[in-house]
Structure 1
Amino acid sequence: MEVKTLNRESWLSAAFSALAEGGAEQVRVEVLAKRLKVTKGSFYWHFRDRTELMEALQENWKIGRIEAINMQTRLNGQSPGERLRDVLSLYAGNGNPRGMAIEMAMRDWARRDARASEIVAEVDRERLRCVSELFAGMGLAEDDAFARAYLFYSFIFGEGLLARSAAPDRFEKARDICGRVLVPEGA
C-alpha cells in the first residue's frame, strides 16, 4: 500500500473546500481525512486539534484576501478609474464560485464566532481602505470616497446573492449600467 504524505497546506486546502461546501460546521477532522484518503493521525502531525486548524483557516483566508486586494488595487500605470473597472470585472459573470462560496461561509461563520468576526472586519477594512484610496485618486473627498467604496463592495457582494435567472435577459445590461454609475467612464 502506498503511503500518502500530506503537508499543512493540503489539510488547509481540504478545509477550505469543506468550508465552501457546507460552512464551518463541515470542517471536521474525520471528514477531511476521508476526503484526503488518509487516517486522522496524519492530521495531528500538522495541527494540535481542530481549533488550531480553524484558526489557521481564518488567518490563511485573511492574509490571502488582504494580499489580493492590495494587488488588485495597485495602479500599475492605470488611472484609478481604470483600476476600479478592472476590479469590478474580476467579479463579473460567474467569477470564482469557490471563492465566493468561501467568502459567504466566512461571513456566516463570523455571525457566530467572535474571532471570525474580527477577521472578516479586518479584511473589510482593508478592502474599503484600498478602494477608497482609488476613489480619492479620482478627486472625491475622503467621506465621498469611502461611501463610494462602501457602495462598490455592497454591489459586488450583493450581486452574488441575486439569482441571475430572475431576469436573465436584463442582468448583463443592468450590471454594466451599475458599473458605470459606480465608476463613470473617463474617470
Structure 2
Amino acid sequence: MDTNAETTEKTGGWRGSRKVWLDAAREAFVTSGIDAVKIQPLALRLNLSRTSFYWFFPDRAALLDAVLADWEATNTKSLERATQEYAETIAEAVLNLIGVFLDGGPFETRLDLAVRGWAHQSDEVAARVHAADAARLEAIRTMFDRFGYSAGEADVRARTVYLTQIGYISMQVRETMDERLARVPDYVATFTGRAPTGSEVARFRARHEAQ
C-alpha cells in the first residue's frame, strides 16, 4: 500500500475517523460521565470494529487526553477570542463575552460541567481545570485593563464576570433566551459600572435572537 492510500484509510472510510471517535467520546462523556468513555461501547455506538479505534488513538488514555484538549480548544480559546474582539466601549466588550455563553454560542456549558466533575476524580484533570480558569480570568482582566481600569478593579470585575458564569454552569441554571437577554443590560452595568447604550444592546439582541 502506498503512503497516500494508507493516510486516507487512517483518516476516514470504514474505520471512521479521528473526529468521529472523538465526537462519540465527547458525547458519551457529557451525557454519562468519564466511565462511559470506553473503546468497546464507543465502537458499538458507531457500528465500527474495536480495532478501528487504534488507527487513530494508541489507547484510551490518548482518547481521554484528546477530550481534554478539545475542551480547552472549544471553551477556553473561544472565551479568549471573545475578549480580544473589537469593541469601542467596555460595555460592548462585555457584550461580546456574554454572547459566547448563550445558546448557540461556541462555549459548550455541558462540556465544561462534565470536565469539572471529572476533576474531582483526577488530580491531573483538576490541574488542567485550574490552569484553564487562570487563563480565562487573565483574558478577562486584560480586557478590562484595555479600557483603563486599575489593576485591582480589573481583577475584581473579571472575577465577577467569570464566577457569575461558572455559577450559571455549576447550578445548571435554566432560562429562556428572552429571560437571559432581558437581564443582559443590567449584567453589563453591574460588571462594568457603565450601562450599555441602546444601540449596543440592539446590536447584541439582533445578533443573538437570530441564533
Identify whether the pair has TM-score above 0.5, normalized to the shorter chain: yes
Q: Which has the higher contact order (CA 8 A, sep 6+)?
A: 1
Aligned residues: 183
Q: Which residue of 2 aligns with 1:143?
A: 152
Gaps of 5+ in 1: none
Contact kept? 1:62, 1:120, Cα under 8 Å: no
2:94 maps to 1:84: yes
Q: Which residue of 1 aligns with 2:136?
A: 127
2:84 maps to 1:74: yes
The alpha carbon displacement at 1:113 in A equals: 0.7
Summarize deviations over 1:92-148 as a string: whole Å, max 9, x none: 3x4559921111000110111112112212211111111111112232211221111
Gaps of 5+ in 2: 1-12, 198-211
Kindly tell me: are residues 56 and 162 of structure 1, through their superposed partners in 2, closer, same or farther at Cα, counting changes over 3 Å? closer
2:58 maps to 1:45: no
Cα distance in 2 for partners of 1:17, 1:179 equals 33
Among residues 40, 46, 51, which one is paired with 1:30 in the alignment?
40
RMSD in angstroms over aligned alpha carbons?
2.8
The alpha carbon displacement at 1:29 in A equals: 0.9
Kindly tell me: are residues 14 and 169 of structure 1, through their superposed partners in 2, closer, same or farther at Cα, counting changes over 3 Å? closer
- TM-score, with length taken from structure 2: 0.75
SS at match of 1:47: coil
Cα distance in 1 for partners of 2:180, 2:73 equals 33
Q: What amino acid maps onto 2:27 in structure 1?
A: S
* Larger-gyration structure (1/2): 2
The alignment-based identity, stated in percent, is 23
Summarize deviations over 1:37-76 as a string: whole Å, max 9, x none: 1011111111221111111211232233333123211132
Cα distance in 2 for partners of 1:163, 1:57 equals 24
